[in-house]
Each structure stands twice: as structure tokens, then as C-alpha cells.
Amino acid sequence: MNDKPTGKDYVGSDDLYADVQRTMRLVAEMNTGYHTEAEVRDCLREITRSEVPDTVRVFPPLNINYGPGVRFGNDCFLNFGCTLLAIGGITIEDDVFIGPHCVLATEYHPEDPAKRHTLLTKPIVVKRNAWLGADVKVLAGVTIGENAIVAAGSVVTKDVPDNMVVAGSPAKVIREIRKELSIITMKKLIILAVAALILAACNNKQETKNNENMKQELNLTKEWDKVFPLSDKVNHRKVTFETQYGLTLAADLYTPKDVDGKLPAIAVSGPFGAVKEQSSGLYAMKMAERGFVALAFDPSYTGESSGEPRRTASPDINTEDFMAAVDFLSQLENVDPERIGIIGICGWGGIALNAAAADPRIKATVASTMYDMTRISGNGYYDSDNNEEARHAAREAMGKQRLADPMAMAGGVIDPLPEDAPQIVKDYHAYYKTPRGYHVRSGNSNDGWRVIGTQAYANARFLYYINEIRSAVLVMHGEKAHSRYFGEAAYHYMVDGKAEGYNFIGKPNPNPDNKQLLIIPGATHCDLYDGGEAGYIPWDTLAAFFGKNL
């Protein structure tokens, strides 16, 4: 590809000069007027004097100074306005995406002013499946690794390792590619393993009784079927209550033994896709051991609660679930209605914050190992799909799915576990697919949720007003949790009115002193479901928080 020794200095031969002039003429012809994609490929074959696969797509104008120095792989794509300075040789391998106005420059000059007119070259290689964002500059001698992503506007001066995201000027590694994080295609492992997305399957047949209050009779399991043993310090009974959407929710009510009078109360739910027999029930029981009336409920369309079709979610309906739980607790004889708090786990941590912003009856809130379900549904993990193009593609896919098979399921934790599964997936599997946390009614433990089940979340941003929460809030996250960025961003927006990941800016919180961010050293996301092997959940700290603020 490069007929000059790499990195050597030379002024250039007559043949090289002739090739440059020939390339400039042919490139000008290609960039003038309209050409079909096939015609553009024919132009590139003549410019490069090499075979250009029929799957190559290039949007002119494309500027090239030395055609024989460029090689295209299969299925690669170059957007408008790219420049290839290719005397040193440029190889673009299969499935590469190159965004608009990128520059790949194999040529440079010595730093010494006395030698400045000398031309030096080093080849550039863009390896298979790499993606260069808009306006990226790649300098001589750089290899862009397989599957790598270069963020828009970056200047790449050193090799980019495989499977890494780089950004900046000069570009630096910011994180590893997380292939599993695509929500729409469901092809990536973390979505198959997410313990926090849509609601669980219900194996119990619901019997509906239509009366003036829209109350429904639920077929509730009578035996103890939780993933944790019942504490001898609490009383337990099954209860139901109604939401303002006409749905009846099933719940477990835990009360401390041998305690009289009106007590503070806490409603608990989550993770998304889980049931009250799992993490939320454990949280409720532990709070009851410490003197609180505690209610763990199955959300609408989930577990033993009512709602058809199953495994469906909505920001409005799920926020109402929490507020309906407050309604129920407020009417219990042994509860002080002025002392009610809530706990949301994983995806329900974000919902808990939304409920606290909407309902001032909630005097204290804990968001544990939280997800912001609207942010992840609209932006993807780590905001990797936070652009109009990705969201439009997702909306188109959802529209097609609604017509093709609206009841199609996806997203339960993958089983058996692949040997090369990421640690996040292993953590989810260790909870949802083992006796530690498996439950027959849990969507995450089984076949997941409806593919279109979170469509309403993807087009909403429901934490807009959390900077106006006046009541006490504790955001708790594991130090090693992949979801930690959700909690930290929500906390900072709640306190300061601005945070990374939030496009809107609000006023600082009017009561910031009762807001707390608690990072648990060494804990992962799923460790805060049940404490993990090391007992990471600080139950007494949670009890002290509620004791102080209720």
C-alpha cells in the first residue's frame, strides 16, 4: 500500500507527484454533481487502483490526496466531508463507521524548523467494526482498535485499544465498550441480565370482580414463599389496596411484635422486574424489625397484583403505585399518617424520587442502588444512545414490534451463563437464577418482560422536579455498582439543580441539608438487593435515617 518506507523522510518522487495530481483530478470529478452509490464506488476503484467492495458506502464529498494509499474493507461507511491524507497508507477494515468531517492524516513534518519541508509518513489502520464520531482527527501512525469508539471531536494521537471508548484532545480511554447494553435489539448481555427493567410474570390466575370501586379480588398465595426466612421479631400478613388507575395491588405487611401505638411506616418496592418475595420484602421485614410498619408491594401488572397485559410499565402508573401505598398506610390504625416514608430499589429508586417530588405526604425517601428508568430507556446505558438518530431508530423498532407481536417477551436474566459473561451479568445471575433470589413470579428470574413494555419510559424524563423535594432523601449506592452514575447524578441534580446527564438546569434545592449520598465501600449493584455475602446493606443506618426524619 505504501511504496515509501514507513516513517522515513522524503520529498517525493515524480511518480508520487503524478499520482497525487491524478487523484486530485479524479476526486474532483467524483465530488462534482450527483452520483449513485454504485457510481461512487466505481470512482473509488479508479482513484485507489484497487478493488472496492460493493458493500462500501461513501457520501461525497470525500477528499483524498493519494488514491493508491487507501484500502476499503467490506460494509464500511464514510459520511459527508471526510479527508484522507493517504501517502503513508490508510486501511479501513470491514464494518467501520466514519462520521462526517473526519480527517485521517498519515503525513506530518519534523519539529526542527530546518527540516520542516521534509515529508514524513506513518500508516493509519482503522480495524474491524470501529466507529469514529463526527469531526474526529486521526494522526499519523495510529491504529484504531477493533470495535473501538472515538467520540466526536476527538484528536487521536496514540493507538486506541480494542473494545475501548476514547474521547478528548488528545484522546484518552474513558471506559470499555459494553456490548451488552443495547435496550432495543436485546442482543447485548446486560439487557438480557438486567435485574431492573420490566415487570414480572404472574403465574396465578386473576379473578376480577367489577364493583363500584373497581376493586379486584386477587388469588394470593397463602404459604410463605419468600427467598428469605420470616423473622421471629415481626408479624406478617397479606393485604391488598387500590390505585387511582383502578388496579388492585398485592402486598405483604410487616409489623414489629409487642409494639403498641401509632408507628412510622415505610412502603417498599423494587427492583424493576422483581416481586415482593425478593428484595423489597427483605427491606420491609428488616425495617419492621427496627420498629416500623413496613409494606412491600408488587407493582401494577406484576407478581400477584392486577393489571393486563402483564409485564407493562408506565412512569405515571408506577409513581401512582407508591402514592397509593401511602394512601393505604395512612388509613391503618397503627400508623401515624404524618410519618410515612418510602424505599425504592434499583429501577424503583428513581420512581421513589419521582413520587417524593409529587407527594409531600412522603416525609423521607431512600433510593437504593437506583436506576433512572427514563434516562436508560431513552439514552441507553452510560448515555451511549443519547442522540436523535438512536432514539429514532428505537422508536421505529418499537412501532414495528407493536404490529408484529406486541406480547413478545425478552429480557430475563440469561441462563445458562456464558463463560465470557461480564461481571455485571454474573452478579445478576447470582441473585436471580440461584436459590439466593430466584422466584417463580419474578420476570427477571424467568422470561423477562414485554419487548414494548417500557416504551412509555423511553419518551419521558420523570426526575425533572426532584430539586424541589423538601423532605429528607438518602441515595445509597455501592462503590462498584455499574449503576452508580444514576444515583450520583440524581443526587447532585436534586441538591444543586444541575448534574451530568441532565440537559435541564433548575434552581438549587430549598432544603439541601436533609439530602444525603451514601456510597457503600466494595459493594456492587446486586449487593444492595440483599446485602450480598459481606452483608453490605447498613440496616441500622437506614433505620436511623427514617427514625430522624419521620
* Enzyme catalytic residues: 109
Contact 101, 80 (CB under 8 A): yes
Alpha-carbon span 192 to 448, nearest angstrom = 8
Give the three cell numbers for residue 74. Answer: 467490506
For residue 44, give Cα distances in angstroms to 93, 103, 288.
Answer: 16, 17, 72
Q: Give me the DSSP letters along 163-206.
A: TEEEETTTTEEEEE--GGG-TTT--SHHHHH-SSSSPPP--SPP
Per DSSP (E only), the strands in 360-503 are 362-368, 409-410, 449-450, 472-478
Pairing type for strands 90-92 and 70-72 reads parallel
Residues 6+ positions from 108 with CB-CB distance below 8 Å: 120, 121, 122, 139, 140
CB-CB neighbours of 331 under 10 Å: 10
- Three-state helix/strand/coil letters over 269-311: ECCCCCCCCCHHHHHHHHHHHCCCEEEEECCCCCCCCCCCCCC
The amino acid occupying position 192 is L
Angle between helices 37-48 and 14-30 in degrees, nearest 10: 170
Q: DSSP label at 161?
A: P
Give the three cell numbers for residue 522. Answer: 466494595
Contact 87, 4 (CB under 8 A): yes
